[in-house]
Amino acid sequence: MGSMEITTGSMETALMSDLTAKLPGDVLVDIISRVPYKSTRCCKCVSTRWRDLIAHPDHREKLPRSTLAGFFYRTFDMDRCQYDSHGYRSLSGNWCPIDASLSFLPNYKKIDLLDCCKGLLLCRCSKPYPETPDYVVGNPATEKWVTVPAKEWSSDSYARLGFDPAVSSHFHVFELVPAAALNANLKFDYNIKEVGIYSSKAGAVVEGNCRFIPAPTLHDACGRHDVYVSRGQLYVAYYGAAEASIWVLEDSSSEDYWTLKHNVSYLQLFGSRSKGRYGVISVHPEDDVIFITVESKSTLSGDRLQLKLFSYEIDSKELKFICDLGRISRRPYLSYVPLFSESLADEH
């Protein structure tokens, strides 16, 4: 009986300490909808009431279903026929409101979006001619940023971001320098000749060993492929005129670097009626999902092309329409997963 009395008393204490017990269900759901997806999963363990509210079909659309909040992308000025700015498309409602204009960044002449990795955004920011641009790493969720030094050839280089908050709060910027950026006489030579690795911990470019891994052998020479990161692995998403395929790098030490994970034909995806061009723009950072854009003509705007965004679940082979991206959005489409807790060294 003694143990039963203690258990009962503990339960009463727990109920008294639960300040949300008297909150109406819709108010509690609204509160939970404002936290990240990973925290939402933890909320299911608080009590049976919280679990049932989160699992209820009427509430699923209100709650974040993934840590993927949306996509950053470049925008294109149709009148001047040039890239002019950037935009953001939310995929998870309003649970993660951010300043899509990135107005918290320094006031540069132009901001080019280059990469996004686990909550941090890498940009190349142009100064008034002829000064060398800066690399800027920012956190849209906390509106903190740091400047990374660049070189005179950085305007024509490829740069990517490496970051894992589970390992360290520091990041790396990888700068891939093509021959054309180093030698004006090699204008159309885009083969990578140098690789620079900036460490935020060291505050400088660091030494490192680099090894080139060839892309998967593709049968369609006219096809296109892009590299993405999902669940800690490298993926190559390839799409040609007839089909799309997904390859995963499972063992970089093996001679067979890439394993074909899935392929699907354009006909299977959209049927014979669809005539628009399509492209794979991203791989979901957590799930077996790829994102596809399709160009189509809008009946409301005459012959103007509109861009539609779809998701394709590899396991279920289910294609879902997500939203219209309009006419001005362009690559790269950078998947954004908010990061609220980490700070940047020497941040502003």
Residue 106 shares a structural domain with residue 175: yes
Q: Is residue 341 assigned to a domain?
A: no
Residue 285 shares a structural domain with residue 205: yes
Integer angstrom CA distances of residue 174 from 158, 214, 342: 8, 18, 21
Residue 44 shares a structural domain with residue 87: no
49 neighbors 56 (Cβ within 8 angstroms):
no
Q: Is residue 65 assigned to a domain?
A: no
pLDDT over threshold 50, residue 1: no
Residue 48 shares a structural domain with residue 141: no
Number of folded domains that form the chain: 2
Residue 195 shares a structural domain with residue 330: yes
Q: Is residue 9 assigned to a domain?
A: no
Q: Is residue 248 assigned to a domain?
A: yes
How far apart CA 321 and CA 309 sit, in angstroms, is 6
**Least confident among 32-36, 142-146, 231-235:** 32-36
pLDDT 10s digits, 170-193? 999 999 998 888 888 888 888 888
Residue 33 shares a structural domain with residue 156: no
Which of 84, 171, 188, 87 shows the shortest CA–CA distance to 136? 171
pLDDT over threshold 90, residue 299: no
H/E stretch holding 178 reads strand 171-178
Residue 173 shares a structural domain with residue 248: yes
Residue 113 shares a structural domain with residue 196: yes
Per the structure, the complete domain to which residue 234 belongs is given by: 70-336
Residue 116 shares a structural domain with residue 40: no
How far apart CA 116 and CA 164 sit, in angstroms, is 12
Q: Is residue 5 assigned to a domain?
A: no
Q: Is residue 4 assigned to a domain?
A: no
Q: Is residue 149 assigned to a domain?
A: yes
pTM over 0.85: no
Residue 43 shares a structural domain with residue 76: no
**Least confident among 12-21, 84-93, 193-202:** 12-21
How far apart CA 128 and CA 108 sit, in angstroms, is 8
